[in-house]
Structure 1
């Protein structure tokens, strides 16, 4: 099954296809895709959202919500969101999610950290709103620094 996080229609189609299956129920959803376009100009999805915000937050959040029926059927289940320590440098202005209203020049690192903080906030809110008896947990995990030595 294909999934393109720059297309919210693709996310909806994927979830519909998955949920239409009778088995197996979903027990683990790992949202681990992300983009970080360092020092590149700001890019927008066809929906008008900053690409960082859509791929790193909106699409995984939408996917998580749309797959909740299958996750609840597969209980105990969990949603694991790959994140980054850079979330701690983020600031989410709900009136300016695209970072277009500020007079400051667009900064891809700030857009990335904002999207990761939004994901942490979403995960916390979703977990708080799931009844304990639902048996589905939501969390974020930071991969930490990865060093490759050849």
Structure 2
């Protein structure tokens, strides 16, 4: 009988988490809006893209795997009944790919209303990319940094517009020293470091774009379970426990959708949000660190003089 009580307990925990988690209930439409969602083929990114497509937005997915990206496009079209969804190849682990993505986007779209930097990884490879950058750090920060700056002119032209950067509460445990060194590398620390970079980038980008009509905010999606379908009994039990304590991708996407859509966020910039509410950042987030990271990032991605802001 113990397992029955276990299941009931886990169900009650899940219901409590579902009822207490911040949700975005506004039904505002996004007809005529153009949105980019990176990593939109699965998890939080897919849920975010689907919600925005349901609201009528034209959604462009930026995904590394073309097949997965195209499959996600077809699923979103079917579920949202919105045919204005497409995929452009984007590998954030390659600065060349980032530039090609931006070039193709600019050649096919006249404006950009919302950029959602959602794609991320944890422990994909303890190695350097072809650009000589630690893989995790390039995918989670340096790639999105370059992508965003290359799209800033279009965001300004399309103002009022928004940038949403998906971070994590784990930014509190990050540091910005030795970001491109393997001698002290661990998957967990690299992830925390990249999430601190996300928040620092948010605050500095918001400061530099102040008064342009482009607002920039970061989001903590919460702990999200994206591996519910497993084969062994042990894995299924583990997934049940995770399902009870962690958010679904739909729930995890709520803050990103809120920041992309809500009228409440028209004038808020440089903020850090969780459960659709502004939250406190780590004390590590300050102007000195943000400027230091910005300068280092510009150098590492080899930003051209005309591309700086």
With structure 2 as the length reference, what TM-score do the two structures score?
0.43
What stretches of structure 1 of length at least 5 have no aligned partner?
A: none
CA distance in 2, matches of 1:57, 1:30: 13
Identify which of 104, 108, 119 aligns with 1:33. Answer: 119
User: How many pairs are equivalent?
Assistant: 140
Task: Give 1:69 shift.
Answer: 1.3
Task: Give 1:116 shift.
Answer: 1.1
Task: Give 1:22 shift.
Answer: 5.4
CA distance in 1, matches of 2:119, 2:125: 20
Q: Could you tell me whether the CA contact under 8 Å between 1:19 and 1:69 is conserved in 2?
A: no
If you compute each CA radius of gyration, which structure gives the higher value, 1 or 2?
2
Q: How does 1:47-86 map to 2 (within 5 A)?
A: 47-86=131-170
Q: Does 1:11 align with 2:98?
A: yes
Partner-residue secondary structure (3-state), 2:215:
strand
**1:47-84: CA deviations, max 9, x gaps?**
11111110000011111100111111211101001111
CA distance in 2, matches of 1:60, 1:13: 14
With structure 1 as the length reference, what TM-score do the two structures score?
0.86
CA distance in 2, matches of 1:14, 1:75: 21
Higher percent of residues as helix: 2
Distance verdict in 2 for CA 1:144–1:72, change over 3 Å: same
**1:63-113: CA deviations, max 9, x gaps?**
1100111111211101001111111100101xx22233x5x4x21100111
Q: Could you tell me whether the CA contact under 8 Å between 1:99 and 1:111 is conserved in 2?
A: no
CA RMSD of aligned residues (A): 1.6
Task: Give the aligned partner of residue 99 of structure 1.
Answer: 181
Distance verdict in 2 for CA 1:41–1:17, change over 3 Å: closer
